[in-house]
Amino acid sequence: MRIDIVTIFPGYFGVADAGGRVAESGPLGVSLIGKAAGRGDVDFRVHDLRSWASDVHHTVDDTPFGGGPGMVMKADVWGKALDHVLAAAPVPGAAPARLVVPTPSGRPFTQETAASYAGEGHLVFACGRYEGIDSRLVADARTRMPVDEVSIGDYVLAGGEAAVVVIVEAVCRLLPGVLGNEQSHSDDSFGGTGGAMSGLLEGPVYTRPRTWREHEVPDVLLSGNHRAIARWQRDEALRRTAVNRPDLIRRLAATPEGLGKRDRQVLADAGFPVDAENVAH
Ligand code: SAM
């Protein structure tokens, strides 16, 4: 997979060379993602937006039409950057690149989005700053490529760089060969369709020692009974999800395969009965 990132702060990603490759010490150069990049499974290129500004000050922003506080990033500078990145990096035989624009006003970025991006050949990220990017950039890009405006949560960051690190990490850990155990992401919170945690948050996890400060590991996990362990894990996942994310339980309850009889009993015992009023429509 090829990932291009356009930003006014290339240093945020730890750029290693003039080609925009990421440094081993940067957030995309360490751990599993760094290893994937080292193997060539993902090719990161970081670009400085200011390279496409035409004035001596390398200006990338201007005051907003209609007034108001703050500055808006200029469509003409962004347009040139995008033209260059797309022309310089065609992935042979691949579908057109997808432009991803992080913004608090975008659609929520979810595990499902991450899984669909993991199937793409080329992602281009546009990191906004200030009040965001002139909206004509997205309108223009949509005429030639798929474009997603995505939000990583209901809060406002100072810039898109942190959002890009979040998105890239969520996507890259789903690429084949990145996680040591391929099953581990289907057992994670929000695990893929049909996974053990499909639509749920993962329950509690434990490791040695068996007793720590008088806290014991639940007996069932030491029983060797894999069926009982799997059932306990699902029960705990249901309880935790009901407390922390009742919206997910309502969504599961609305799907035919979402919750079994035992699941409903566990939820009822936990004080979260799933009845007609509790189901998402
Ligand atoms: N004026 C914008 C608004 O109210 O929607 C906020 C702009 S924010 C200060 C600057 C940049 O940070 C955005 O263009 C975007 O790149 C990034 N950003 C901020 N919050 C974000 C979020 N929740 N998800 C994704 N990107 C975000």
DSSP letters, 56-101, are TT---EEPPTT--SS-EE-HHHHHHHHHHHHHH---TTPPPPEEEE
Domain identity same for 23 and 58: yes
Read off the pLDDT band of 276 (50, 70, 90): low
Closest to 238 (Cα-Cα) out of 208, 281, 271, 275: 271
Answer whether residue 182 is part of any domain. no
For a pocket test of ligand 1, which of 61, 103, 110, 124 has the largest count of ligand atoms closer than 8 A to its C-beta? 103
C-alpha of residue 121 to centroid of ligand 1, in Å: 26
Answer whether residue 217 is part of any domain. yes
CA distance 57 to 196: 54
Token readout for 159 is 């810039």
Q: Which long-range contacts does 156-161 make (Cβ < 8 Å, 24+ apart)? A: 156/104, 157/104, 158/129, 159/7, 159/9, 159/127, 159/128, 159/129, 160/7, 160/101, 160/102, 160/103, 160/125, 160/126, 160/127, 160/128, 160/129, 161/7, 161/9, 161/12, 161/13, 161/127
Please, what is the Cα angle at 101 between 41 and 89, to 5 degrees?
A: 45
Give the end of a domain, one of 172, 207, 223: 172
Q: What is the model's pLDDT at position 27?
A: 92
Domain identity same for 67 and 141: yes
How many H helices and E strands in the chain? Answer: 9, 9
Ligand 1 contact, 7 CB (< 6 A): no
Catalytic residue among 64, 96, 104, 246: 104
Domain identity same for 9 and 141: yes
> Stretch 96-116: mean pLDDT, rounded?
97
Q: What is the model's pLDDT at position 99?
A: 98
Taking 80 as the threshold, does the pLDDT of residue 111 lie above it?
Answer: yes
Answer whether residue 139 is part of any domain. yes
Taking 80 as the threshold, does the pLDDT of residue 185 lie above it?
Answer: no
Query: Which residue range(s) make up the domain with 164?
Result: 2-172
Look up residue 147 and give its DSSP letter.
E
Domain identity same for 22 and 150: yes
Domain identity same for 11 and 114: yes
Q: What is the model's pLDDT at position 115?
A: 96
Domain identity same for 19 and 122: yes
Q: Is 188 or 117 the better-scoring residue by pLDDT?
A: 117
Model pLDDT for residues 141-170, shown as the tens digit of each residue: 999 999 999 999 999 999 999 999 999 999
Domain identity same for 126 and 7: yes
Give the end of a domain, one of 123, 143, 172: 172
Question: CA distances (Å), 40 to each of 3, 44, 97, in order?
Answer: 12, 10, 18
Model pLDDT for residues 16-38, shown as the tens digit of each residue: 788 888 888 899 999 999 999 99
Q: What is the model's pLDDT at position 17?
A: 83
Read off the pLDDT band of 177 (50, 70, 90): confident
Domain identity same for 27 and 139: yes
Q: CATH no. for residue 6?
A: 3.40.1280.10
CA distance 7 to 102: 12
Strands 147-151 and 122-126: unpaired
C-alpha of residue 175 to centroid of ligand 1, in Å: 27
Domain identity same for 222 and 133: no
Closest to 29 (Cα-Cα) out of 18, 42, 19: 42
Q: CB–CB of 30/24 below 8 Å?
A: yes
Taking 70 as the threshold, does the pLDDT of residue 281 lie above it?
Answer: no
Answer whether residue 185 is part of any domain. no
Q: CATH no. for residue 209?
A: 1.10.1270.20
Taking 60 as the threshold, does the pLDDT of residue 106 lie above it?
Answer: yes
Answer whether residue 184 is part of any domain. no
Ligand 1 contact, 151 CB (< 6 A): yes
Answer whether residue 183 is part of any domain. no
Taking 60 as the threshold, does the pLDDT of residue 193 lie above it?
Answer: no
Model pLDDT for residues 44-90, shown as the tens digit of each residue: 999 999 999 999 999 999 999 999 999 999 999 999 999 999 998 76
Ligand 1 contact, 105 CB (< 6 A): yes
Q: What is the model's pLDDT at position 153?
A: 98
Q: What is the model's pLDDT at position 279?
A: 64
Q: Please state, rounded to an integer, the average pLDDT across all residues of the chain.
A: 93
Read off the pLDDT band of 5 (50, 70, 90): very high
Model pLDDT for residues 205-227, shown as the tens digit of each residue: 999 999 999 999 999 999 999 99
Domain identity same for 194 and 153: no
CA distance 170 to 237: 21
Look up residue 270 and give its DSSP letter.
T
Domain identity same for 151 and 252: no
Q: What is the model's pLDDT at position 209?
A: 98
Domain identity same for 218 and 164: no
The percent of residues above 90 in pLDDT, for the chain, comes to: 81
Answer whether residue 181 is part of any domain. no
Q: What is the model's pLDDT at position 278?
A: 63
Please, what is the Cα angle at 19 between 139 and 57, to 5 degrees?
A: 60
Overall number of domains in the chain: 2
